Amino acid sequence: MTAVSLQGLANARHAVSQDRPSFHVAPPKGWLNDPNGPLFYAGYYHMFYQHIPEGCIWSFGLVWGHAVSRDLVTWEHLPPAIVPTPGGLDADGCFSGCATLDEDGIPTLLYTGVRLRSNGAAGPLPPVECDLQLPFIESQCAVRPVDPSDPKLTHWTKIEYPWMALPPANWGLGGWRDPYIISRPGENGSDCWALIIGSGVKDNGGTVLVYKSKELLDGWQLHGELCHGRGEGSTTGFIWECPLLTKLPAIPAQTARGGVASHSSQSCASTAGAGDLGDKPYFFCISPDACTNPSYYWLGRYDAEAMTFDLKSADGPYRLDLGDILYAPNTLEDKANGRTLLWGWNQEKRTKVDAYDYAGCLSVPRILWAEPSTAAVTAACSSSTSSSAAPSRWSLHQQPVPELSKLRVTEATSCWRLSDDLPDESAELLILGSARLPLPVVSGPFLDIELVLERADPGCTASGLLLTSTTAEGGAALLYHWDSGVLEVVFEALDPHTLTFSLAAPGARRVGGPLLRPPAPGRPLSLRVFLDYSCLEVFTGDGEVLTARVYRGVPASTDAAGGLTGIGASSAAGIDIISVKDDKSEGNAGATRVLHCEAYQMLPAFPVFPGTIDTDEEVLAAEPIQLPAFGAPVAMTVEAL
């Protein structure tokens, strides 16, 4: 996209509605769900997504929205890449899929087209043995760019025929959708293409089917099952939607933990060389049944020859996100930067009935790394001579892409660093039990916060952030509980007598759970917190994520100079760092030590929000063409209020 100045981006904020996220990918209006087909081509990152342009609830008629970026953080909207064709196999919706480059390097989008059984104009029903008896018929379809020399891939046209028309006969499947390429000819010794499709055996459990072909758009044959959860439907789901399979790179040494640059990885395994711990694992992920469920992942072995993932011996299933809004992720192998990227769908959780012109956004892009598990690190550090002592288990480490820091506003009136307010490098900040430290200087609902907290004494039960509210839907508290290892967001926690935040409030709602890799006793917790209006994404230093919605409204604005500076100033952003103490603790017990804090206001991801897409462009996208097949600190304290 055309380069714009920092000031230009700042000015663009006036075009961004203040009651919606601004630095997450989302359409100008309407409904968004699954991310589809992330692709890097000709210097641009392409992101596609499920989209209803003229409504804010899910419905049939989904199109593929399209946005492009050179840096993953500043984006430009383009016309929809795929729209339904009346009377076609996708007449009632262009469901999820993937993107790849064909044998000649031409971008190709593979997707599931759907037509309602009741839509007589969209063709006959499938043969009885291939009819899944769903309200809609699924076919596997494709589009290619009208002009591959256009780096933005602005316009697309459909392949006239389905590259797979029917599901396997007599399998009793409950779905057949969401294609995802797992290998291509010449990759890992393979002489063919291979892909997976999400499915499940009715009333039994989920499954992922594997297909292979010599050509991308023709000749696909069912190879078998990648893996399955038959008999486990009540725990892992009956239909495994949006399946993913990709090999993870090992986390580099000295990686910023959770995106907090001042706290890097110092584990023995990282500095000793993660390659000593065995082959890197494959990441297998599914989204079961419906968006009210979490997405699950396993780490394990993939047999490229047999085209099977060893689910029984894999580590998992684990929740990909501790929150309650992320679903249907998709990945991109960012080969130029040696990393695997993931986006998910961040759903809405509104409780207030009102008129809205948008619903949903994508998560910030995450990097996925394979990191030696605690057991592996212990064994590797305990033996420097015997390779047999090194286990092969790994953990998933997720962190935000470093490019997000480009959106930070670094002027003195728009950011705050704790280190700038401390008298010297040996000083520390203590927040006493039941006290709060207002986050100074920064204002508004679009923020990036780095935070490193430490339990200062046993009387402290939890530490975190209090997000105050200006709306009837209420604020929330982001808390880490030191004894249980639970990271959570607590909602509706108002004491009915004092109307103040209270963990003991009746009816408080909680979203989160125990960390798989909590900080060791006596060690600090590192957090990277993105707050984009209602969208809250929290990354821990050990690579776990919690995503939630907090509809707290827009904090009261301040004067142009900020007007709120220094430790102890009130918070224009409506955010306090808090320390929760045990009910039995007295006096100043229950303190939290703040080792690091930086907060920045954020620029929008889209400098320009376009109007509606021209009708001619939609027609062009829908029109098919025929193509051939293919040390001692000084304490500063914040006392209890």
Query: CA–CA separation, 572 vs 37, rounded Å?
Result: 39
**Full 3-state SS string of 315-340:** EEEEECCCCCCEEEEEEEEEHHHCEE
417 and 373, same structural domain? no
- Minimum mean pLDDT range among 234-243, 399-408, 418-427, 560-569: 560-569
Rounded to 5°, the CA angle 302-303-304 comes to 105
Say if residue 10's pLDDT is above 80: no
Question: What is the C-alpha to C-alpha distance for residues 511 and 514, in angstroms, rounded to an integer?
Answer: 11
For 522-540, the pLDDT digits (tens) are 999 999 999 999 999 999 9
pLDDT score at 559: 39
| Residues 435 and 395 both lie in one domain | no
| pTM for the predicted model, two decimal places | 0.89
Per-residue pLDDT tens over the stretch 321-340: 999 999 999 999 999 999 99
Q: Which of 33-37, 38-42, 298-302, 376-380 has the lowest average pLDDT?
A: 376-380
Within 10 Å of residue 450's Cβ, how many Cβ atoms?
22
405 by Cβ neighbours in 10 Å (0-12 / 13-18 / 19+) ranks as middle
pLDDT over 80 at 317, yes or no: yes
- Rounded to whole angstroms, the Cα distance separating 20 from 27 reads 11
**Is 40 in the same domain as 85?**
yes
- Could you tell me if 591 and 514 are in contact, meaning their C-beta atoms sit under 8 angstroms apart? no
Predicted confidence (pLDDT) at residue 265 exceeds the cutoff of 70: no
pLDDT at 60: 97
584: left (phi over 0), alpha (psi -120 to 50) or beta: alpha
- Specify if 261 maps to a domain: no
Q: Is pLDDT of 274 > 70?
A: no
Same domain flag for 194 and 305: yes
Query: Which two structure tokens, joined as six digits, stand for 64?
Result: 């593929």
**Residue 272 φ then ψ, to 5°:** -80, -20
Q: What is the CATH number of the domain that holds 104?
A: 2.115.10.20
Q: Between vectors from CA 583 to CA 579 and to CA 589, what angle results, nearest 5°?
A: 50
pLDDT, averaged across the chain: 86
DSSP state of 541: T
For 434-477, what is each residue's pLDDT tens digit? 899 999 999 999 999 999 999 999 999 999 999 988 765 678 99
Residues 337 and 456 in one domain: no
Give burial (CB, 10 Å; 0-12/13-18/19+) of 89.
buried
CB 84 within 8 A of CB 111: no
Give the separation between CA 631 and CA 629, rounded to whole angstroms.
67
* Domain presence at residue 63: yes
Q: Are the beta carbons of 169 and 176 closer than 8 angstroms?
A: no
Q: What is the mean pLDDT of residues 35-57?
A: 97
Closest CA to 242 of 136, 326, 337, 117: 326
Is 404 inside any structural domain?
A: no
User: CA-to-CA distance for 69 and 67, rounded, in angstroms?
Assistant: 7
Query: Would residue 17 count as lying in a domain?
Result: no
Closest residue by Cα to residue 367 from 248, 269, 260: 248
Whether 636 is covered by a domain: the verdict is: no
Same domain, 509 and 594: yes
Sign of CA dihedral 469, 471, 474, 479: negative
Q: Within this chain, do residues 40 and 92 fall inside the same structural domain, yes or no?
A: yes
Measure Cα distances from 409 to 70, 258, 509 in Å: 20, 20, 34
394 and 415, same domain (yes or no) = no
**Nearest by Cα to 466 from 382, 612, 580, 543:** 580
| Helix (H) / strand (E) containing 604 | none
Distance set, CA 162 to CA 97, 138, 142, 166 (Å): 14, 10, 7, 9
Q: Are strands 634-638 and 427-431 parallel, antiparallel or unpaired?
A: parallel
Position 506 confidence tier, pLDDT thresholds 50, 70, 90: confident
Domain CATH code at residue 458: 2.60.120.560
Amino acid at 133: Q
Domain assignment of residue 483, yes or no: yes
Please calculate the CA angle 241-258-473 and round it to the nearest 5 degrees: 65
In a domain, 421, yes or no: yes
Q: Please answer whether residues 195 and 169 qualify as being in contact, where contact means their C-beta atoms are separated by less than 8 angstroms.
A: no
Total structural domains within the chain: 2
Written as six digits, the tokens of 441 are 């200087």
Same domain for 219 and 341, yes or no, is yes
Exposed, middle or buried, 566 (CB in 10 Å: 0-12/13-18/19+)? exposed
pLDDT digits (tens, 9 = 90+) for 170-223: 999 999 999 999 999 988 778 999 999 999 999 999 999 999 999 999 999 999
Percent of the chain with pLDDT over 70: 83
Among 371, 367, 340, 368, smallest CA distance to 274 is for 371
| pLDDT (mean) for 550-556 | 81
Bridge-based pairing of strands 315-319 and 296-300 is antiparallel
Instruction: Please tell me whether residues 346 and 431 are part of one structural domain.
Output: no
Q: Looking at the structure, do residues 198 and 91 belong to the same domain, yes or no?
A: yes
| Residue with token string 């798989």 | 516
Q: In whole angstroms, what is the distance from residue 184 CA to residue 362 CA?
A: 28
Residues 84 and 233 both lie in one domain: yes
HEC per residue, 149-175 = CCCCCCCEEEECCCCECCCCCCCCEEE
- Structural domain harbouring 309: 30-255+278-379+390-399
Bridge partner residues of 493 (DSSP): none
115, 120, 123, 129: CA torsion to nearest 10: 80
CB 249 within 8 A of CB 367: no
Note the pLDDT of residue 179.
Answer: 98
Instruction: Tell me the helix, strand and coil percentages in the chain, rounded to 5.
Output: 10, 45, 50
SS (H, E, C) 405-450: HHHEECCCCCEEEHHHHCCCCCEEEEECCCCEEECCCCCCCEEEEE
Rounded CA-CA distance 504/501 in Å is 9
Is 633 inside any structural domain? no
Residue type at 602 in one-letter notation: M
Closest CA to 239 of 197, 278, 279, 271: 197
257 pLDDT band (50/70/90 cuts)?
low
